[in-house]
Amino acid sequence: MLRYDARVNTAVIDIGTNTLLLLVVDDQLKRVVDLCRFGRLGKGLDASGRLDPEAIAKSLEICREYRKVMDEHGVGAPNVIATQAMREAKNAADFVGPAEEILRAKIEVIGGTREAELAFTSVARTFADLAGRPYVVVDVGGGSTEFIVTDGTKVVSAVSVPIGAVRLTERHLKHDPPTAGELAELVADIDRYLAPLELPHDVPLIGTAGTATTMAAVHLGLATYDPDAVTGLRLAPAAVEQMRARVEAQTVAQRKATAGIEHQRADVIAAGIAIYARAIRRVAAPVMITCDRGIRWGLAFERQTR
C-alpha cells in the first residue's frame, strides 16, 4: 500500500563516488527518509578513467530500491545530483541514462564549486551559532574533497580538489594494513594538493559527509548510527591524530569490528581520516566539528526557499 503524506514535498538523491544517498523531507524539513547505500562508482576510476561495470550494476540496483521507497512515500520526481565520479568518467552515460529511466528524473552532474556551495549551505543552516565567525568547511568524498572558506556571512572561496577516500586508497594503500611507506606516500600526496590552497589559520574546521560522520561515530562508539548525535560533535586535533594512527594500524577486518565503522567503508576510511588530519594541520584548526548534513541537505534547504 502506498503511503501518501501531504507534508512530504522534497526528495534528494546524491550520487557520489562511494555512496548513493536518498533524503526525503517534508515541507518543514523534517527528515522522513535518510538512506545510505554503497555503490562504489569510483571503483578503479582513478586508474582507468571509466566506471566499473559491476559498480554500475550495483548502483542501478540501488536506484531501483530508492525509486520503490519514493513510490511508497508518494514522492514523484526527485532532485538528483551527481559529483566527482560522473564528472570524470569517460563512460558516465552508461550509468546516467539507465539511472534516469529508473528514477524517472534527470541527473544533474554538478561541478566542484557547486558541490562546495551546497556543503556550505548545509553547514550554515545547521550551525546558526557559527554565524559571523570565520571557519572552513571540508567535505571529504570518495573522489574529491571540497574546501569552503567563509567569514561567517558569505563564502570567501570554494574549491574542489581531486583527492578522496576511494581514490587515495586505490592509489597508495595496497597492503592490509598499509605499510609505513604507503602511508608516507599518502600524506605526501595529500599535502601536495593542500599546499597551494588559500586557507585561513586558527579557525574551526567543519567536517561533512561520510568520513567525518564515521569519525564521530567511532569517537562515540556508536553501534547504531545516529545522525543527530554526530552533528555538532567536537573533536580535538589530538583526538583526530590518535584515531588516524589507530585506524591506519588496523586491518580491514579489525576496522569492520570497530563500533562506528560501516563494513562497506572499512577499506577506505584510513585515507579519508588522513585527509582530515592533514587539513586540520594545514589550517591549524583548534577543533573539528562534524556535521551529518552534507550536500543532500544543502539542496533540500535550497528547494525550501524557492
Q: Which residue has the cell 514523484?
A: 76
**Helical residues (DSSP H) of 84-236, grouped into ranges:** 84-88, 93-103, 112-126, 165-172, 180-194, 209-220, 227-230
CATH 3.30.420.150 maps onto the chain at 112-295
Q: CB count, 10 Å around CB of 118?
A: 29
Q: For residue 209, what pLDDT band results from cuts at 50, 70 and 90?
A: confident
Q: For residue 9, what pLDDT band results from cuts at 50, 70 and 90?
A: confident
Output the CA torsion sign for 104, 109, 110, 115: positive
Q: Residue 179 and residue 13: Cα distance in Å, rounded?
A: 37
Look up the CATH number of domain 8-110. 3.30.420.40
CATH 3.30.420.40 maps onto the chain at 8-110
Question: Residue 304 has what pLDDT?
Answer: 74
The pTM of the full predicted model, rounded to 2 decimals, is: 0.90
Please state which CATH class domain 112-295 belongs to: alpha beta
Give the pLDDT confidence of 240-283 residue by residue, as tens digits: 999 999 999 999 999 999 999 999 999 999 999 999 999 999 99
Hey, is 34 helix, strand or coil? strand
